[in-house]
Structure 1
């Protein structure tokens, strides 16, 4: 992409804004409130970097799930795994890259005051949204140990006003459809309800010619309810049950290149030539055709409920009890040979004889997550020079995983089966106070004490066809640790509309467990893995200008993470045994500048823009894994690789200190807006919307392999429609990826093990692949919203 194109989104916003601001009418921008400090506050009064997706932004961009949220927030990215189970959220370029049931996320996702017990639960339909707050940097003081890099705080629509129904229907030319409906309001002065249901389906961008089905799509069904009871003038009770069924037909990859095109054999087996197994696939940069005989994806069901009881105390304070339970189950699978042949007919046993099994190479498993939490929270009145929030917290997560890969006795399938379970119990006490110690000065201070007890059980054996017989068993129970995190900020109100602040905070993520197929007696003895910590410094300003027609939020930050939990090779303590395991590597840091701004250019024209410049890097990782380079004189590895490095157990290692964190773009920009066209004397008005986002290039692998590089890209979406003046209906049309720019978030490289070696003529086969993003191709659609 040309340099001019990279600067286009921000330059466009500035060019529009400056000459037009003076023409704006007297009304101002929408007032944005947040609950980042566990109390309702105006966004411009909170001394931390926060980006907010309001209801208007959510509607204009057809936000459905967490991936849509991340696309609109420059501070967020996703690390995509081989199944939805392994997807992770990154904040400011830092997230969990070694994902498993024994490793917590670095970014917490909270829905209506209730954190999700495992981050994979966030990758589902998010119905009935009112507001999404992106809380940047460590949030451990108020949001706990899984928010070391940040938090995504999601709020659904409240219950208010008379009973009414809302419906929404969306359809696109490439077959996506969504239906939503809600009904609610106050039945009496003291009792109200809101019931919301949604269903959505998208077949996918890939086509599997083996069974004539689409792949890499999704379908969701959700049902949520809220019941509110004003039991007395001072006591409110809110009960929120929910259920979601999600089917993610996800993560299959399509070949984009194979060199040479002929002569390659799958796993060097003569009966599995590329010319036959890839027949009918138009391999090329935009290929969306695959041949798979086993499904890659995940089916999940999430059931849960929250209960919130609030007492408005006589002194104006509020005491709340927030209880939650949830039960999540997921079945996942993956086609491991990427073809539709019964490869196990030809894969050999240890004696070299073909197995003769009429099946393909596949892995599959089941995950079950049970979560319970209880919070008691005391929030002071909003008035006065001293405002505080204090609370007690308890949570218990129990996660079980059953995993099967390959076929017993066939080494090429890396056969394994295991049953494992982990748990953690957390007790915490927290408090935070803001003191206006002078007319224009405030100080905020907070502390949290967190005590965690965790452990695991693990049993390994051979996969089918025989019964599961345990050959190895390990456990580590009752591991306890206490940690203190804190936050301190100084705030200056320079004018009624301009505030500046400096802030420091610490973060904490709990102990981890390496509960994967590679666990053995030596690595089990090293469990648990040390907890992760962070220290951050941030300085910023927030301004409200031109009678609330322009808002600006600017922040600079620097965060260091110690004992970052990542797979790495190391000697076992006190031995000469070198193993690769989940470990605490030296360090990671992220620093940069962020800007969020909104401008009312005219009474009917609003523009929102946000930008993040982030440098997320590895500060100390001297024994990182190497990556292969075809034809390399360095033993087939990258030039920086030290072969059989004596310092690290004779393993092939490289020093990636100073390297870039994966999925951490240096620049990410988002510019969007809406122009309302007032039409008289007809009964409806028109509107136009637009959104452009730019993401600079990223690496998708911690080992710095340039083959895992995703080039920078810019995506522009536009929309237009009409809206009834009484707000009874809205009909909108949209075009996403207007300029039809191709890009992928994952699936680069790989595509099977193709080669030909002795006794065949030696052929080195290189492949490339991709997993195209949802909007990697231009598509258009329509949406109808109605209220009655």
Structure 2
């Protein structure tokens, strides 16, 4: 399974042929459907404008994943969403607290609690304070709206590149209970259940719970366990009180506990494996004989494109807990008065997210500290390097908004917002050498905003769209590094703190025109903003303190779109073209320093741009065949970054490394640092083309049950996972095809589903990069250059089988 040399043609042809065959099989029914007015698409309701609207009436590029699509594709968590929405991608890091959600190629490529996200995640009108909280089970979810482009005017903080708006399942009027189970041949399993109904004429409730476990696809040869998996436990509740026709009160508590034994990257390539182990990290050896042979370090690991084995003697991943609650109170005004038929809504939330994270610092299970020297003296230690840390995030929000009636020449929403986030981070790396880090950091941001967004009908067909948000943000931080360790020659205690504030306004202006009841076009100009950041990571020093906060990001976006309802409401086709410029983009770029430690530094890039074309389609071909698909062409590039990071290559003499690409060595313009001008280069993890297609065909029978067949295919072009443009960090284009089917009770009591995931067994990397060259992690007695590459195999990097059973009663 070669992840770099797969034929693009084979990816596309076979799944397309299968999709065509599925459509042809129902051709006769299609002719009949043309005359059957009941064969139509269901209305899709979204809340992108903070009011319930038909998707085809909203002048925003949105991909909607409803409950049917989520179930058909066995969506478990956020990691599954990029397969269904081409605008989305996820960038993985060395621990789950640093995962990033990217929209149209733009995301949070910045580590640390002092930097906010570029893509917000909102559940039932409540935003997450930290994006890492999104990477858990999507429990009891009913609909996911992927809002593309700047959403700062309505969604506020952390929405400069887009927003993911999630709605959980509503409360049923009549009592209903459901149970769902899921099992795979590689030992992943899930079980969830819910019950919902009316307690009285005015009170209704819903309870949902779930448990899941996935051992992971990476094998730890040290203890025989699997890695890069997860296990989750979640509870959610809703209690709704409607004392009369005007008041509604909803209280929604939640709790989840989740563990990701993740972020481990097996060796995909290693040269000169016959040498001796040399961990630099501030260590020296009395002689070459004290070094450990690489063959012992590997201990049965065979580096290669199919290698999923590692040797770790310290846990990897993170254990997290999330608890919180939301209180939503609504009042509907009567038919008379100044606010006739308006709705006033108050949304109050509280949440607390905590995570303990840990990592094996030397990627081995060998006694790397034995016989090593620091300052010419033995460490008197055994074992290896390890990292452990803690996140503590508290959030409080309050939103008060007034929504006008759905009818009328002017339709609007206006409101006030308050949010306070307190984010804490402790990180320790131990026990010796320059690897050691021990710091405690805190970041606090408080936001006050007034916002409004509305549509005014100039004529019965043409409307003006306008929105504005005034936002005040107060930010503060502290940073302490108190460690004094006997294994380091000297260590100075540091304490830093700082505050800042800024006032910003964002807005939207546009025009929409309804050509006829089934076709609407729009053009919008919108701006977005992301707050100031501070690099609260292990690299924080006097220079960071003197420079203060990194300026915030600003975005200016133009989008034009068409929303079409075709074939007598049997097809919807949404098209969008866009261009968004980001000024002062906050970017963390990493490199392996001379001591062998991979470190990151926060930069404020001059400019970044994303532009492209998108299409979303749903087609009810017949009563029994439903197809959907999405396509995105995205060109996300750096337009100004003169002091970008360089990558390394082996030098001509073969004795070491030298900066590669267009690197300027010891650039006098930037403190004699090695820099590369990255203008025109693609953003990391930003494929230019992405496509996904899916569908389901119902097989009706004369028995008590019917059958169904479903299929899904996704393809993306090549992608570089590093901003320094290292050519060895490119994942070439690939496609994944899933095929499933099953039977279901005609009365809706049960459904059994089966699926072959990654039918054609195409391997690919979810992340790919170099550990380094020459004496960084591994060396030989001849000190020959060593090139080491690691990869993160995706969950479906190889074929696996799944079975699902759903019951309703």
CA distance in 1, matches of 2:558, 2:216: 42
Alpha-carbon offset, residue 232 of structure 1 = 2.2
CA distance in 1, matches of 2:509, 2:783: 64
Taking structure 1 as reference, are residues 628 and 264 closer, same or farther at Cα in structure 2, changes over 3 Å only? farther
The structure 2 residue matched to 1:457, chosen from 456, 462, 478, is 478
Q: Deviations over 1:311-347 (max 9, x none)?
A: 0111211100000000111000111111001322234
Q: Are 1:673 and 2:695 counterparts? A: yes
Checking the alignment, whether the CA contact within 8 Å between 1:459 and 1:470 is kept in structure 2 is: no
Taking structure 1 as reference, are residues 580 and 128 closer, same or farther at Cα in structure 2, changes over 3 Å only? closer
Alignment of 1:637-786 (within 5 A): 637-680=659-702, 682-750=703-771, 753-756=776-779, 760-786=781-807
SS at match of 1:141: helix
Q: Are 1:399 and 2:404 counterparts? A: no
TM-score of the superposed pair, with normalisation by structure 2: 0.92
CA distance in 2, matches of 1:466, 1:349: 7
Q: Deviations over 1:611-661 (max 9, x none)?
A: 000000000011111101123579612041111112221111111100000
Checking the alignment, whether the CA contact within 8 Å between 2:66 and 2:143 is kept in structure 1 is: yes
The structure 1 residue matched to 2:559, chosen from 526, 538, 549, is 538
Taking structure 1 as reference, are residues 390 and 518 closer, same or farther at Cα in structure 2, changes over 3 Å only? same
**Structure 1 range deviating more: 760-769 or 102-111:** 760-769
Checking the alignment, whether the CA contact within 8 Å between 1:266 and 1:273 is kept in structure 2 is: no
**Structure 1 range deviating more: 638-647 or 466-475:** 466-475
The structure 2 residue matched to 1:496, chosen from 517, 520, 532, is 517
SS at match of 2:369: helix
CA distance in 2, matches of 1:458, 1:254: 33
SS at match of 2:111: coil
Partner of 1:596: 616
Q: Deviations over 1:539-588 (max 9, x none)?
A: 1101001111111000000000001112479xxxxxxxxx9952322100
Alpha-carbon offset, residue 264 of structure 1 = 3.8
CA distance in 1, matches of 2:470, 2:699: 53
Partner of 1:346: 371
Alignment of 1:501-580 (within 5 A): 501-567=522-588
The structure 2 residue matched to 1:319, chosen from 317, 324, 344, is 344
Taking structure 1 as reference, are residues 463 and 324 closer, same or farther at Cα in structure 2, changes over 3 Å only? farther
Partner of 1:473: 495
Alpha-carbon offset, residue 216 of structure 1 = 0.8
Partner of 1:421: 442
CA distance in 2, matches of 1:521, 1:647: 20
Partner of 1:205: 217
Partner of 1:114: 126
CA distance in 1, matches of 2:459, 2:84: 38
Q: Deviations over 1:419-446 (max 9, x none)?
A: 1101000000000111111011111100
Partner of 1:574: none
Checking the alignment, whether the CA contact within 8 Å between 1:499 and 1:543 is kept in structure 2 is: yes
Taking structure 1 as reference, are residues 733 and 3 closer, same or farther at Cα in structure 2, changes over 3 Å only? closer
Could you list the runs of 5+ residues in structure 1 that have no partner in the other structure? 570-578
CA distance in 2, matches of 1:167, 1:639: 55
CA distance in 2, matches of 1:464, 1:292: 25
Alpha-carbon offset, residue 284 of structure 1 = 2.3
Alignment of 1:615-634 (within 5 A): 615-632=635-652
The structure 2 residue matched to 1:387, chosen from 385, 406, 411, is 411
TM-score of the superposed pair, with normalisation by structure 1: 0.95
SS at match of 1:629: strand
Alpha-carbon offset, residue 522 of structure 1 = 2.1
CA distance in 2, matches of 1:295, 1:695: 33
CA distance in 1, matches of 2:801, 2:206: 31
CA distance in 2, matches of 1:480, 1:198: 42
Taking structure 1 as reference, are residues 632 and 709 closer, same or farther at Cα in structure 2, changes over 3 Å only? farther
CA distance in 1, matches of 2:779, 2:78: 43
Q: Are 1:609 and 2:633 counterparts? A: no
CA distance in 2, matches of 1:734, 1:656: 43
Q: How many residues align?
A: 771
The structure 2 residue matched to 1:186, chosen from 198, 210, 213, is 198
Checking the alignment, whether the CA contact within 8 Å between 2:11 and 2:736 is kept in structure 1 is: no
SS at match of 1:517: coil
Partner of 1:166: 178
Alpha-carbon offset, residue 756 of structure 1 = 3.4
CA distance in 2, matches of 1:466, 1:661: 40
Q: Deviations over 1:85-110 (max 9, x none)?
A: 11100000011111210000000000
Checking the alignment, whether the CA contact within 8 Å between 2:328 and 2:345 is kept in structure 1 is: yes
Partner of 2:594: none
Alpha-carbon offset, residue 4 of structure 1 = 3.3
Alpha-carbon offset, residue 266 of structure 1 = 3.1
Q: Deviations over 1:484-515 (max 9, x none)?
A: 00011111111110111111100000011110
Partner of 1:576: none
Checking the alignment, whether the CA contact within 8 Å between 1:392 and 1:429 is kept in structure 2 is: yes
Checking the alignment, whether the CA contact within 8 Å between 1:452 and 1:481 is kept in structure 2 is: yes
Checking the alignment, whether the CA contact within 8 Å between 1:236 and 1:310 is kept in structure 2 is: yes
CA distance in 1, matches of 2:486, 2:740: 54
Alpha-carbon offset, residue 185 of structure 1 = 1.2
Alpha-carbon offset, residue 13 of structure 1 = 5.8
Partner of 1:217: 229
CA distance in 1, matches of 2:166, 2:20: 30
Q: Deviations over 1:25-75 (max 9, x none)?
A: 432012111000000000000011000001110010011111112221100
CA distance in 2, matches of 1:649, 1:470: 24
Q: Are 1:279 and 2:299 counterparts? A: yes
Partner of 2:593: none
Alpha-carbon offset, residue 164 of structure 1 = 1.7
Q: Are 1:243 and 2:255 counterparts? A: yes
What stretches of structure 1 move > 3 A for 4+ residues in a row?
A: 1-23, 463-470, 632-635, 751-757
Checking the alignment, whether the CA contact within 8 Å between 1:370 and 1:397 is kept in structure 2 is: yes
Checking the alignment, whether the CA contact within 8 Å between 1:404 and 1:416 is kept in structure 2 is: yes
CA distance in 1, matches of 2:111, 2:247: 42
CA distance in 2, matches of 1:163, 1:464: 62
SS at match of 1:333: strand
CA distance in 2, matches of 1:483, 1:640: 37
Taking structure 1 as reference, are residues 628 and 174 closer, same or farther at Cα in structure 2, changes over 3 Å only? same
Taking structure 1 as reference, are residues 729 and 652 closer, same or farther at Cα in structure 2, changes over 3 Å only? same
Taking structure 1 as reference, are residues 11 and 225 closer, same or farther at Cα in structure 2, changes over 3 Å only? same
Alpha-carbon offset, residue 405 of structure 1 = 1.1
The structure 2 residue matched to 1:333, chosen from 332, 335, 358, is 358
Q: Deviations over 1:652-679 (max 9, x none)?
A: 1111100000010000101000111111
CA distance in 2, matches of 1:335, 1:580: 18
CA distance in 1, matches of 2:267, 2:795: 17
Taking structure 1 as reference, are residues 496 and 756 closer, same or farther at Cα in structure 2, changes over 3 Å only? closer
Q: Deviations over 1:379-437 (max 9, x none)?
A: 111111111100000000000111101225x23xx212111101000000000111111
The structure 1 residue matched to 2:43, chosen from 28, 31, 38, is 31
CA distance in 1, matches of 2:681, 2:113: 27
CA distance in 1, matches of 2:20, 2:145: 25
Checking the alignment, whether the CA contact within 8 Å between 1:219 and 1:246 is kept in structure 2 is: yes
The structure 1 residue matched to 2:86, chosen from 53, 63, 74, is 74
Checking the alignment, whether the CA contact within 8 Å between 2:589 and 2:723 is kept in structure 1 is: no
Checking the alignment, whether the CA contact within 8 Å between 2:12 and 2:735 is kept in structure 1 is: no
Q: Are 1:4 and 2:12 counterparts? A: no
